[in-house]
Amino acid sequence: MKKSKKILASTIVTGAIVMQGTLTDAQNSSSIVASDEIRSFRVDIPQQKLDDLKRRIKETRWPEREIVKDETQGVQLATMKALADYWANSYDWRKVEARLNALPQFMTTIDGVDIHFIHVRSKHKNALPIIITHGWPGSIIEQMKVIGPLTDPTAFGGKAEDAFDVVVPSIPGYGFSGKPTATGWDPPRIAKAWIVLMKRLGYKKFVAQGGDWGNAITENMALLAPPELVAIHTNMPATVPLDISKALAEGKMPDGLSPDEQNAYKQLDFFYKTGLGYANEMSLRPQTLYGISDSPIGLASWILDHDARSYALIARVFEGQSEGLTRDDILDNITLYWLTNTGISSARLYWENVQTAKGGFFDPRNLQIPVAVSIFPDELYAAPKNWAEKAYPKLIHYNKLPKGGHFAAWEQPEFFVEEIRTSFRPVR
């Protein structure tokens, strides 16, 4: 395995990168360096930004309470007030900032856009490189719990032969990556950038993993099928058969479906009828969402209203119940979006996808490389095994987990890590 390209040191000064004498904004730059150089990166958010955030939360102009007793009108006022109280009075961004800075972080320019990524090499020999991609409304925060167990399995009850080198990039327009200043950054283009990134790091063999947009990007990597990519893993697979998609559009469940197929159909039907409001707006008019750039509570409520099961879990967390996520977990992710002002830039990925997509989000893509699938019961839909077998001719792993939802690595890191270890053993 080749050593990584030359790494240039960067210094973070008042939220900007200073490199080679040029001051550039860390989120808005599109072409800092026209080369394949890799620069070190460190997070240091100015205190005035954190003070401004708390002031804005405290000055929120609240609407009246919803006029129903459930969540059918949207994110409930009690949940948002509990979140706001903790965010303004107890939450400490510096804790997650320190955890981020304890990890090796880098920036490199690919196709004119700065790409931020975490890159942790394992101490174990023959570690398998893996690139893990988040989705919306997620971020690199989702994967932080799994980096240690994947790179250093012997410290977490695993075996040395299951070690990975882990690369976790921020999608363009998300987190600390640059914001594209021109159109065209859709999942296929991001997939090409990820292949460039892994080659730039010197890897001649690697695997890839993703859920949500991370799945779309990872499956597009598989479609490109570079010889270095030997297999992929997904926790939100694209497997819905054409006849099921037609039945969902017509609103009538087909006869003869197995129990797993009936469950998947009902989950998809519920999501398409009640859960697509955010996706429709971001697909059609992302720039209209000025409120999520101006109001932290507006941003938080938009992020919470992603899917019914995730929202229910988050609501329970802010009621004081113990779940796979904590209040800090949830606010780490939301605060990252706020501090980087990426509410609208991240939303544009939905618009970009609509411009070029040739099928539905869950339509099979006819992948021809090995694929592993992990099914978490509270995902948008739990893909039945026979759907996965048809969608992925080279299915090397399929497993249904007892617990977990859309943010699998974040919410159920132990299950997720074991799935990754098991999935890729056949291709090492």
How would DSSP label each residue in 230-280?
Answer: EEEEESS-----HHHHHHHHHT-PPTT--HHHHHHHHHHHHHHHHS-HHHH
Per-residue model confidence as pLDDT tens digits over 379-399: 999 999 999 999 999 999 999
Residues spanned by the domain of 54: 48-93+272-356
Listed range (269-273, 355-359, 375-379) with the worst mean pLDDT: 355-359
The maximal CA–CA distance of the chain, rounded, in angstroms, is 67
**% of residues, the chain, pLDDT over 90:** 90
Per-residue model confidence as pLDDT tens digits over 280-315: 999 999 999 999 999 999 999 999 999 999 999 999
Q: How many CA atoms lie within 13 A of 384 on its CB side?
A: 18
Domain count, the chain: 1
The number of angstroms, rounded, from the C-alpha of 302 to the middle of its chain's C-alpha atoms is 16
pLDDT of residue 1: 44
Report the SS3 class of residue 52. Answer: helix
pLDDT of residue 51: 98
The pairing of strands 22-25 and 16-19 is: antiparallel
pLDDT of residue 180: 98
211-229: average pLDDT? 97
In a domain, residue 52? The reply is: yes
Q: Report whether pLDDT(237) > 90.
A: yes
Q: Report whether pLDDT(152) > 80.
A: yes
pLDDT of residue 21: 28
In a domain, residue 195? The reply is: no
Residue 385: phi, psi to the nearest 5? -65, -40
In a domain, residue 304? The reply is: yes
- Which residue is catalytic, options 116, 134, 233, 406? 406
In a domain, residue 342? The reply is: yes
Per-residue model confidence as pLDDT tens digits over 71-80: 999 999 999 9
The answer to whether 116 is a known catalytic residue is no
pLDDT of residue 17: 34
pLDDT of residue 108: 98
Per-residue model confidence as pLDDT tens digits over 257-284: 999 999 999 999 999 999 999 999 999 9
Nearest CA to 404 among 417, 390, 423? 417
- Which residue is catalytic, options 91, 174, 350, 398? 350
Q: How far is CA 291 from CA 158, 297, 346, 422, in A?
A: 46, 9, 14, 43
pLDDT of residue 14: 28
pLDDT of residue 35: 72
Q: Report whether pLDDT(94) > 60.
A: yes
Give the pLDDT band of residue 194 (cuts 50, 70, 90). very high
What DSSP designation does 113 have? E
In a domain, residue 26? The reply is: no
In a domain, residue 169? The reply is: no
The answer to whether 350 is a known catalytic residue is yes
pLDDT of residue 58: 98
The answer to whether 406 is a known catalytic residue is yes
pLDDT of residue 12: 33
Give the pLDDT band of residue 400 (cuts 50, 70, 90). very high
In a domain, residue 420? The reply is: no
pLDDT of residue 359: 83
pLDDT of residue 23: 27
- Which residue is catalytic, options 114, 152, 162, 212? 212
pLDDT of residue 398: 98
In a domain, residue 64? The reply is: yes
Average pLDDT, the chain: 92
Residue 251 — left, alpha, or beta (φ > 0 → left; ψ -120 to 50 → alpha)?
Answer: left
Measured CA to CA, the distance from residue 260 to residue 383 in angstroms comes to 8
Measured CA to CA, the distance from residue 151 to residue 147 in angstroms comes to 6
* CA angle (185 as vertex; 182, 190 as ends), nearest 5: 145
Measured CA to CA, the distance from residue 194 to residue 87 in angstroms comes to 34
Q: How many CA atoms lie within 13 A of 127 on its CB side?
A: 22
Q: What is the distance in angstroms between the CA of the first residue and the CA of the last residue of the chain?
A: 14
pLDDT of residue 358: 82
242-260: average pLDDT? 96
Q: How far is CA 355 from CA 245, 290, 349, 375, in A?
A: 20, 22, 10, 29
163-185: average pLDDT? 98
Per-residue model confidence as pLDDT tens digits over 405-420: 999 999 999 999 999 9
Measured CA to CA, the distance from residue 401 to residue 412 in angstroms comes to 10
Per-residue model confidence as pLDDT tens digits over 313-347: 999 999 999 999 999 999 999 999 999 999 999 99
